[in-house]
Structure 1
Amino acid sequence: MTERIATTTGLFPLPDHAKSTLSDLKGHQKDDLISGDEGDDIVEEYDRVRAEVVERQRAAGLDRIVEGQLRWDDMLAHPLCVHENVETRGIVRYYDNNNFYREPVVRGDLSFSGDVASDLEKTAALAGDEALQAVLPGPYSLADLATDEHYGDEAAFLDAVADFLVGEVEAFPEVETLLLLEPSLVEHAPGDGTDARASEAIDRVAGATDADVIVHAFYGALTEKVHAHLLDADVDAVGYDFVNDHDRNLYNINEYGTTDDVALGFVDGQNTKVESSDLIRERVEWVEESTPGASFERTYLLPNTETFYLPVNRFEEKLDALGAAVAEEEVTA
Structure 2
Amino acid sequence: MSEFVATTPGVFPLPDWAKDRLGSLKGHQKEDLIDGEETGDIAGAYDEARAEVTDWQATAGLDRVVEGQLRWDDMLAHPLCVHDAVETRGIVRYYDNNNFYREPAVTGELTFDGDLADDLDALAALDGVAEARQAVVPGPYSLSDLATDEFYGDRSAFLDAIAEFLTGEIRAFPDCETLFVLEPSLVTNPPEDGLDERASDAIDRVAGATDADVVVQTYWGALEEKVHAHLLDADIDAVGYDFVTNHEENLYNINEYGTKAGIALGLADGQNTNVEDGETIAERIEWVTENVPAAEFETVYATTNTELFYLPVNKAKAKLASLAEGVALAGADADEEVNA
TM-score by length of 2: 0.95
Structure 1: runs of 5+ lacking an equivalent: none
Deviates more, 1:63-72 or 1:288-297: 288-297
Distance 1:101 1:189 in 2: 21
Aligned to 1:240: 241
SS at match of 1:5: strand
Letter in 2 for 1:12: F
Classify the secondary structure of the residue corresponding to 1:302: strand
Shift of 1:330: 4.1
1:49 matched residue in structure 2: 49
1: CA distance, partners of 2:294 / 2:247: 17
Structure 2 counterpart of 1:318, which letter?
K
For residue 143 of structure 1, what is the aligned residue in structure 2? 144
How far is 1:295 from its partner? 2.2
Take 1:300 and 1:75, find their aligned partners in 2: how far apart are those partners? 22
Q: Is this contact kept in 2: 1:106–1:146, CA < 8 A?
A: yes
Determine the structure 1 residue equivalent to 2:103.
103
1:253 and 1:33, CA in 2 relative to 1: closer, same or farther beyond 3 A?
farther
Summarize the Cα distance change of 1:43–1:198 in structure 2 as closer, same or farther, 3 Å threshold: same
Other-structure match for 1:277: 278
1:159 maps to 160
Partner of 2:326: 325
Residue of structure 2 in register with 1:132 after alignment: 133
Q: Residue by residue, what CA displacement relative to the aligned partner does 1:101-149 show, whole Å, maximum 9, x if unpaired?
A: 0000000000000000000001011153341000000000000000000
| DSSP 3-state at the match of 2:90 | strand
**SS at structure 1 position matched to 2:5:** strand
The alpha-carbon deviation at position 15 of structure 1 amounts to 1.2
Give the distance between the partners of 1:279 and 1:133, measured in 2 at CA: 25
Residues 1:76 and 2:76 aligned together: yes
- Give the partner amino acid of 1:46: Y
CA contact (8 A) 1:75 1:101 kept: yes
Aligned length: 332
Residue 126 of structure 2 aligns to a residue whose secondary structure is helix
* 1:24 is aligned to 2:24: yes
1:294-309 mapped onto 2 (5 Å cutoff) = 294-309=295-310
Secondary structure of the residue aligned to 1:300 is strand
- What letter is aligned with 1:207? G
Tell me the equivalent position of 2:204: 203
**CA distance in structure 2 between the partners assigned to 1:74 and 1:330 by the alignment:** 37
Contact 1:61-1:327 within 8 A present in 2 as well: no
State the shift of 1:38 in Å.
Answer: 7.5
For 2:220 and 2:70, the matched residues in 1 are separated by: 22
Distance (Å, rounded) in 1 between the aligned partners of 2:238 and 2:221: 17
Is contact 1:22-1:45 (8 Å) kept?
yes
Q: After the TM superposition, list the runs of 4 or more consecutive aligned residues in structure 1 that deviate by more than 3 angstroms.
A: 32-35, 127-130, 328-332
Q: Distance in 2 between matches of 1:34 and 1:298?
A: 46
Secondary structure of 1:126's partner?
coil
Distance 2:33 2:7 in 1: 32
Counterpart amino acid of residue 56 in structure 2 = R
1:216 corresponds to = 217
Amino acid at match of 2:311: L
3-state SS in 1 of match to 2:65: coil
Where structure 2 has 5 or more consecutive residues not aligned to the other structure, the ranges are 336-340
The AA in structure 1 aligned to 2:192 is G
Q: Cα distance, 1:327 vs. partner?
A: 2.6
Question: What's the CA shift for 1:326?
Answer: 2.0
Match of 1:59 in 2: 59
The CA deviation at 1:329 is 3.8
String of CA shifts for 1:244-302, please: whole Å, max 9, x gaps.
00010000000000001000001000000000101101011000111104321110000
In 2, the alpha carbon distance for the partners of 1:34 and 1:301 equals: 41
- Contact preservation (8 Å) 1:77, 1:142: yes
Q: Report what 1:189 is aligned to.
A: 190
* 1:38 to 1:222, Cα distance in 2 relative to 1, 3 A: farther
Would the aligned equivalents of 1:32 and 1:39 in 2 still touch at CA under 8 Å?
Answer: no
TM-score by length of 1: 0.97
Deviates more, 1:22-31 or 1:322-331: 322-331
1:32 Cα deviation after fit: 5.6
1:89 is aligned to 89
Contact 2:286 2:330 in 1 (8 A): no
CA distance 1:257–1:331, shift in 2 (3 Å): closer
Which residue in the other structure is 2:14 paired with? 14
